[in-house]
Amino acid sequence: TLLNALTGAGILAEDKLFATLDPTARKFVLPSGQNAILVDTVGFVSRLPHKLVEAFKSTLKQAKYADIVLNVCDISSEDRDNQLEITRGVLDEIGVDKDNIITVYNKCDKEHQPFLMENGVRVSAKSGFGLETLLEKIDEKLSDRMEQLDILLPYSQTGLVNTIRENGVVHSEEYTADGIAVKGIVDKKFAYLYKDYEI
């Protein structure tokens, strides 16, 4: 439901075990204009048979390569504290950096008791409440890996504008007599390409 709400996808969303068996990926745009890919993976189930636990873990191990992990918790569940503890334990076990985790307390429209949140975002994927805040938090975390650009590219280097589009965001582009004046953001791993062209 959260993936559908954030990306506009029409993926099957049911409140039952194993509704999501295969990871599903969808592209979406953050408030800053950055493109991101959201992957919905299998949920966590406690007390599974050992062979199934190992199969789940092998699928979930891909999470440690994500820039951000959204740990989605049903805030209306009476067992939410235990569910959070199990999820955090598994994420820790597979090597996910805790600084890359945002806990998403979903179904806040069904919450009946006050709940003290730790470093998370309260949302209702169904009603849309809190989704803007969640997107801003994702944007903020991802911006740590981006670098601001204010450059003047010679016309012989026009291909570098495409590199910004593919790995960041072009905020403005102006063609001048001396070259292309570009402002935007780019993934820090590509920033070295633009050092000679800074204004």
Which pLDDT band, with edges at 50, 70 and 90, does 82 fall under?
Answer: confident
* Selected residue with higher pLDDT from 77 and 137: 137
**What is the pTM for the complete model shown?**
0.73
Q: What is the mean pLDDT of residues 62-87?
A: 86
pLDDT of amino acid 156: 96
Which pLDDT band, with edges at 50, 70 and 90, does 78 fall under?
Answer: confident
pLDDT of amino acid 70: 92
Q: What is the DSSP string of 27-91?
A: EEE-TTS-EEEEEE-----SS--HHHHHHHHHHHGGGGGSS-EEEEEETT-TTHHHHHHHHHHHH
Average pLDDT over the chain, rounded to an integer:
83
**Strand arrangement of the beta sheet that strand 101-106 belongs to:** 69-74, 101-106, 120-122
* Selected residue with higher pLDDT from 163 and 59: 163
Contact (Cβ atoms closer than 8 angstroms) between residue 67 and residue 35: no
pLDDT of amino acid 17: 47
